[in-house]
């Protein structure tokens, strides 16, 4: 039996979010794993799938989450939680989120992708996005507190790391690991 047939049997041939029966397809709830299974997939209609993938959510369509959030299927719970979180400017979505219960593992799964989506981008002095492993060049002499040296302008910092603060990066200069303000760097 194929994945879609198994999901259709589990959901009685209806979208697991809005209960529509038109154009149903499997949707793998992120983060995707190499092994697509019934545990990390839900059956959705083309309307739900289109809005989820585009991010353009019609709040009235998603009122259906008031019912689907009570599903016993963890993948459906995760999808409902994420959608309600994105719609949290709506009072009904806030109320639903306050009522919703997720066990610890399911909540971690639901929040994993949300954290990645909401992570702010670290930008250099020219507005270029920085990623872990990039090389940057200092555009200003920086006094390094506690290390008694000055990181000179023009110094290349190789293989930077991003920090929790999007305004800072970390890298090695003169053998010392330091925190550098991203605005004082340009991508090399």
> What's the pLDDT score for residue 36?
63
Taking the C-alpha atoms of residue 41 and residue 137, their distance in angstroms, rounded to an integer, is 44
Domain ranges of the chain: 3-118, 122-187
> What's the pLDDT score for residue 141?
94
**Averaged pLDDT in 10-residue chunks for the chain of 188 residues:** 90 95 92 71 94 91 95 95 92 94 91 65 90 93 88 94 88 91 93
Angle at 17 between CA 12 and CA 19, to 5 degrees: 45
3-state SS record for the chain: CCHHHHHHHHCCCCCCCCCCCCCCEEEECCCCCCCCCHHHEEEECHHHHHHHHHCCCCCCHHHHHHHHCCCCCHHHHHHHHHHHHHCCCCHHHHHHHHHCCCCHHHHHHHHHHHHHHHCCCEECCCCCEECCCCCEEECCCEEECCCCEEECCCCEECCCEECCCCCEEEEEECCEEEEEEHHHEEEC
122-187 carries CATH number 3.20.20.70: no
């Amino acid at each position: 039996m194929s994945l879609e047939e198994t999901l259709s049997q589990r959901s009685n041939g209806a979208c697991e979010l809005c209960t529509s029966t038109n154009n149903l397809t499997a949707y793998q709830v992120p983060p995707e794993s190499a092994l697509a299974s019934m545990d990390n997939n839900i059956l959705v209609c083309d309307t739900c799938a289109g809005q989820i993938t585009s991010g353009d959510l019609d709040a009235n369509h998603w009122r259906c989450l008031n019912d689907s959030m009570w599903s016993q299927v963890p993948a459906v719970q995760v999808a409902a939680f994420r959608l309600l979180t994105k719609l949290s400017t709506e009072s009904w979505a806030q109320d639903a989120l306050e009522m919703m219960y997720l066990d610890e593992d399911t909540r971690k799964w639901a929040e994993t992708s949300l954290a990645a989506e909401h992570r702010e981008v670290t930008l250099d002095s020219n507005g270029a996005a920085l990623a872990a492993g990039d090389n940057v060049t200092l555009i200003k002499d920086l006094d390094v507190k506690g290390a008694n040296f000055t990181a000179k302008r023009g110094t290349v910092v190789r293989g930077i790391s991003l920090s929790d603060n999007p305004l800072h990066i970390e890298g090695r200069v003169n053998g010392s690991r330091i925190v550098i303000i991203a605005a004082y760097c340009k991508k090399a």
